């Protein structure tokens, strides 16, 4: 009798041990799964998406060094292409242009890759650097605009920044503010400002202002895709000289050119935010409107 009780007790005890082991194993599995899930959630929460700008429906990540698209540090919501040769090529009007910047509202400012023929800025008097009455404004928005026969309806008439710039400016933020103090009437075709030329440079330390860029012109032209090896007009007038307009020099500096002089032209336009693009932005596979 005692032997039977002992066997039953052992059997019961073994069952309890097995059940306890299975419960422990189940608890450990559930706990590990829960821990793994939490770890995964935390890991995903810590993975931050790279800052980007939307470019005609294409998400383009921004960079902080080298050639590429940068978040502008001067105007909130704007992205700017910087460097010696970023992938900002775009096919427009069956020509190669390049994207200068993406505005807060998603519109694109683009410039022609090749310069147009040289023209005078002057309004005929020889004394005025006013964009509104200039020969170059008339030329760009009449004779030249007629040559844009493909997707002209995607161009947004724009109020271009035409504020005067101090000659020895060493503060790019204040220069941008000065340029934005005055705006033109709304027209389709314009030019870049002096600050836009400077902002296209990745070498801020040596090239981030008028003075620095001019002092280090041989270095600065290497890291700026807007350098063209030919002198061309900007929109920006000199603040104290009524016949002076800033020119991007053939050797890299920004200098005050006379409105009576003749310089090459780099036309700029703004494209609507609702365009759709395809392509990679390289010279061989440029962005294209679809």
Q: State whether 135 and 120 are in the same domain.
A: yes
Residue 1 within a domain: yes
Each of the 290 residues of the chain gets a pLDDT tens digit; together they read 444 445 555 555 556 555 555 555 555 554 444 444 443 434 344 445 567 889 999 999 999 999 999 999 999 999 999 999 999 999 999 999 999 999 988 999 999 999 999 999 987 777 899 999 999 999 999 999 999 999 999 999 999 999 999 988 899 999 999 999 999 999 999 999 999 999 999 999 999 999 999 999 999 999 999 999 999 999 999 998 889 999 999 999 999 999 989 999 999 999 999 999 999 999 999 999 99
**Separation of first and last alpha carbons in the chain:** 93
Secondary structure class of 143 (helix, strand, coil): helix
Pairing status of strand 89-92 against strand 287-289 = parallel
* pLDDT the model gives residue 122: 86
pLDDT, residue 17, reads 56
pLDDT value at residue 127: 81
The residue whose two tokens read 């780099």 is 266
Cβ atoms 191, 268 nearer than 8 A? yes
Do 72 and 170 belong together in one domain? yes
In this prediction the pTM is 0.82
State residue 210 phi and psi, 5-degree precision: -55, -50
Q: Can you read off the two tokens belonging to residue 286?
A: 């440029």
Tell whether 69 is covered by a domain: yes
Q: Considering the domain boundaries, does residue 130 fall inside one?
A: yes
For 117, phi then psi, to 5°, come to: -60, 160
Residues 111 and 22 in one domain: no
Q: Are both 34 and 67 inside the same structural domain?
A: no
Neighbouring-strand partners of residue 97: 90, 112
pLDDT for the residue 39: 35
Find the angle CA(211)-CA(215)-CA(117) to the nearest 5 degrees.
Answer: 85
Q: Please indicate, yes or no, whether residues 166 and 220 belong to a single structural domain of this protein.
A: yes
The burial of 4, by beta-carbon neighbours within 10 Å (0-12 exposed, 13-18 middle, 19 or more buried), is given as: exposed
- Do 86 and 27 share a structural domain? no
Please tell me whether residue 176 adopts helix, strand or coil conformation. Answer: helix
Q: How far apart are CA 18 and CA 14, in angstroms?
A: 6
At 44 the pLDDT is: 41
Q: Could you tell me the residue range of the domain that residue 246 belongs to?
A: 52-271
Domain count, the chain: 2
Sequence-ordered list of residues with C-beta below 8 angstroms from that of 40, at least 6 positions apart, any chain:
none
> How far is the C-alpha of 137 from the C-alpha of 142, rounded, in Å?
8
pLDDT tens digits for range 76-134: 999 999 999 999 999 999 999 999 999 988 999 999 999 999 999 987 777 899 999 99
Domain co-membership, 33 together with 71: no
Q: Are residues 103 and 156 in the same domain?
A: yes
């Amino acid at each position: 009798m005692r032997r039977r009780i002992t066997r039953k007790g052992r059997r019961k005890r073994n069952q309890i041990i097995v059940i306890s082991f299975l419960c422990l194993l189940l608890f450990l599995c559930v706990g590990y799964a829960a821990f793994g899930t939490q770890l995964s959630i935390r890991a995903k929460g810590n993975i931050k998406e790279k800052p980007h700008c939307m470019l005609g429906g294409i998400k383009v990540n921004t960079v902080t060094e080298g050639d590429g698209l940068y978040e502008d540090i001067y105007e909130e919501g704007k992205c700017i292409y910087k460097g010696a040769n970023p992938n900002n090529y775009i096919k427009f009007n069956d020509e190669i242009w390049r994207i200068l910047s993406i505005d807060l509202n998603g519109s694109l400012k683009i410039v022609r890759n090749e310069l147009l023929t040289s023209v005078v800025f002057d309004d005929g008097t020889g004394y005025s650097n006013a964009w509104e009455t200039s020969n170059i404004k008339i030329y760009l928005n009449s004779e030249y605009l007629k040559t844009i026969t493909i997707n002209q309806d995607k161009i947004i008439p724009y109020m271009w920044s035409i504020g005067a710039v101090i000659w020895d400016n060493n503060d790019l933020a204040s220069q941008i503010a000065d340029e934005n103090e005055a705006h033109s009437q709304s027209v389709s075709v314009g030019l870049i400002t002096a600050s836009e030329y400077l902002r296209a440079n990745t070498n801020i330390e040596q090239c981030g202002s008028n003075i620095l860029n001019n002092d280090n012109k041989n270095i600065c032209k290497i890291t700026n895709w807007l350098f063209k090896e030919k002198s061309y007009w900007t929109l920006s007038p000199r603040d104290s000289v009524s016949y002076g307009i800033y020119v991007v020099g053939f050797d890299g500096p920004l200098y005050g050119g006379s409105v009576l002089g003749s310089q090459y032209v780099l036309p700029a336009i703004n494209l609507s935010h609702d365009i759709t693009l395809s392509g990679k932005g390289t010279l061989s596979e440029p962005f294209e409107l679809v």
